[in-house]
Structure 1
Amino acid sequence: MQSSSGEADEYVKFVAIAATPGSLTTRGIEEESSRYEELRRVWNVIHSGQSRDMPDEYRHLFGELATIGYISLRGYRIVILRYLRHRVLALAHEGHQGIAKCKACLPSKVWWPGVDCDIERACHTCRGCQITQLANQAPLMTRTTLPSTSWVSIAADLLGPLPTGEHLLVVVDYYCRFSEVEIMRSARA
């Protein structure tokens, strides 16, 4: 009995640690980026003006990139290098908001080649997103079988209140689609 309680405590601790958001600061990005060859090459190319040394995935952006310290920018968005992309995606994906909200939030602040594809892949492979998405879907419409004669199967609905204060009771026969409408002054049964 003791071991199952200990296992439960460890699991709760694991969930709490995993759910704690890890922040990402510009200083942290700069410190981490200074250690990687990919960024140093981009930084050197931007400062030297020689596009031939630019890594292939950034070559077409030569005129759009700028640097502040060791942070590379494409316009006003921070360029995230390979080693930080998973962490940035995890932060943006927190709360299982779905593809549309992640795409609205993330690319407005950061950029990397294929950011949209990475967002879609992360959301499509996330179990939490799949569960959340299924809960938000409308139930499928079901067909009713056609009755053999009229007035065997009917549908009824109440519309109102209308601006006059009245309600409409609508009854439809499923067999012949004939409808009856009754004006009611009160909706109480």
Structure 2
Amino acid sequence: MGIILAASTGIIGASVVLLGVMSVPIMLRQNYDKPLALGTVAASGCLGILIPPSIMLVIMGDQLAIPILDLFMGAVFPGLILGGLYIVFILGYCKIFPDKAPLAVDHKEVNLKDVGRALIDILPPAALILMVLGSIFMGIATVTEASGVGALGATLIAAFYKNLSWKVLKDVVVNTMNTSAYIFAIFVGATIFALVLRECGGDELIEEALTGLGFG
């Protein structure tokens, strides 16, 4: 779920909050080990900083004058590999220490019907991810245009599940405004800090300190 949320939001805070609200109470209610439950949420939620469309990659591309598309394409497989390693570690840990993640008392055997239902539930967010990242990687849309594609897709999914209302739209607009304000605040703060550092000779001081270490 952390991988799906990372590819859907691109923001660590949103992924961690959603995972914490949805997963932690259930895991603790099933007597999961608390460090395991919280560590799983924290680690998988942080995949949002690496898996596109990561906000961090957008900011990095702007500051370093690197094409954002190249950063996205270079971060996809490392993010998926890291997520896969998380899965392998958790499965191995639970296999060695089964008491850390016990089965529910009322658990049922998984059948093909349950698997099919789970796959159907995953289809909408998976389609949304493919719409956004596919339009970017295929050169159909820029990153900014792809965000509009993602917003349209999320709106259609909410309407399909009958969760779309004026209150939901209002909350989305307010949260989007807050996130945009945070990003612009980072841009302004980073620019001011860089100007002050350069005017005070801080960049030369750092360069001299690094070259004086003698490590070649």
* Structure with more relative contact order (C-alpha pairs < 8 Å, separation 6 or more): 2
Q: Which has the higher helix share?
A: 2
Which structure has the larger Rg? 1
TM value normalised by structure 1: 0.22
TM value normalised by structure 2: 0.20
